[in-house]
Amino acid sequence: MHIDVIQHRTHMLIPARRLMEMEGRQSEYIVRNPPRVKLIIALLLLCLVFSLLTSRSLDDEITGMSIFMIVLSFGYVVILCWAIYLALKKPAGLILRDEGTIELNGTTLKAEQIKAIMFKDEGGDTVIGIKPIGNRIVPIRLCFRFAKGARDGEAVLTSWAERNEVKVLRKFFFRWM
Please list, in sequence order, all residues whose beta carbon lies within 8 angstroms of the beta carbon of residue 130, skipping any fewer than 6 positions away: 102, 104, 109, 114, 117, 118, 138, 142, 143
Residue 6: exposure state from Cβ atoms within 10 A (0-12, 13-18, ≥19): middle
Q: What is the mean pLDDT of the chain?
A: 76
Which of the pair, 152 or 17, is modelled with greater confidence?
Answer: 152
For the ranges 19-23, 64-68, 69-73, 122-126, the lowest mean pLDDT is seen at 19-23
Which of the pair, 76 or 111, is modelled with greater confidence?
Answer: 111
Question: So what's the pLDDT on residue 167?
Answer: 92
CA-based angle 145:147:149, to the nearest 5?
135
* Residues facing residue 118 across a β-bridge: 129, 169
Residue 3: phi, psi to the nearest 5? -115, 125
Over residues 86-91, the mean pLDDT reads 76
Please list, in sequence order, all residues whose beta carbon lies within 8 angstroms of the beta carbon of residue 61, skipping any fewer than 6 positions away: none
Please list, in sequence order, all residues whose beta carbon lies within 8 angstroms of the beta carbon of residue 40, skipping any fewer than 6 positions away: 80, 83, 84, 87
- Most confident among 33-37, 40-44, 64-68, 142-146 (mean pLDDT): 142-146
Over residues 6-29, the mean pLDDT reads 50
- Is the model's pLDDT at 18 over the cut of 60? no
